[in-house]
Amino acid sequence: MKENIGFIGLGLLGLPVAANLLQAGYALTVYNRTAAKAEPLVAQGALHATRPADVVTAGGIVVTLVWDDDALEGVVRSEDFLERLGPCGIHVSMSTVSPDTGRKLADLHARHGSVYVEAPVFGRPEAAAAKQLWIPVAGPQEAKERVRPVLEAMGARGIFDFGEEAGTAVLVKLIGNFLIVSAARSLEEALGMAERGGVDPQAAVNMLTSTLFSAPIYQTYGKMIAEKTATISQSKIPQKDVGLFLAAAQNAQFPAPLASQLLDMLEGVDRSRQ
């Protein structure tokens, strides 16, 4: 028998991920700060909670997919969230947050007898709908085994285990996002140069992403940038995640000059004039 799942965070990615769980036969209780975003899931049979703690079942599984560190901590520390989760309860955090936050929340859960599992997501909303997500995970082994069927039902094409220490899976996510943003920013510059030089950007990106740069990231973002349907500056995610990557590097006393320059670009900072 499938477990009842609590799900918090129904944004662009959370909504299709939660819908996949419903389609897989899981019973869901959902919460979102903007209640109207829960309506499509309620129409499919999900229950709607009016506060985060109300999605929690004692000893059960609750999933969060929220914007940032503050939002995640706000959920965990809200009212009786941890008390309700209790012994044998598992919190699966799919948010992109700092490794320090992951470690802090893992310790906080342990003090309440519950378990914190990191499972940040690689994939755009359309990839979630197509069940083509990649998910790195970290946390206690028994808990990871228990939530694996849930992650698979969410749309995971691949699940990659990075051990039991909190902070490792989100670090992999930050590394991946740094590389994604770097690739997308390079594509914007390269295809802008192609257009300025009289080369059809779509023809250039078609050739390059079918030969030298055939990775899905180059193919997906290259097409979007060539068609001018998206740019890095249209989203707040790159700035947030590159900032988290740089902060993690600074905490580890690891030089990250490319990340520093990339963050300046995203923030519109010109250091040469300072």
Quick one: DSSP state of residue 208?
A: H
E strands, the chain, are 5-8, 28-31, 47-48, 61-64, 90-93, 115-118, 133-137, 156-161
Distance CA 120, CA 139 (A): 12
Instruction: Give the whole-angstrom CA distance, residue 215 versus residue 164.
Output: 30
Q: What is the DSSP string of 62-131?
A: EEE--SSHHHHHHHHTSTTHHHHH-TT-EEEE-S---HHHHHHHHHHHHHTT-EEEE---BS-HHHHHTT
Q: Is residue 267 exposed (0-12), middle (13-18) or buried (19+ Cβ within 10 Å)?
A: exposed
Active-site residue, from 2, 144, 173, 228: 173
User: Which two structure tokens, joined as six digits, stand for 261?
Assistant: 């320059």
Q: Which residues pair with 134 in a beta bridge?
A: 122, 158
Does 173 participate in catalysis according to the annotation? yes
**Cβ 30 vs Cβ 48: under 8 Å:** yes
**Dihedral angle of Cα 27, 58, 118, 15, to the nearest 10 degrees:** 30
* CB 49, CB 57: distance < 8 Å: no
Active site residues: 173
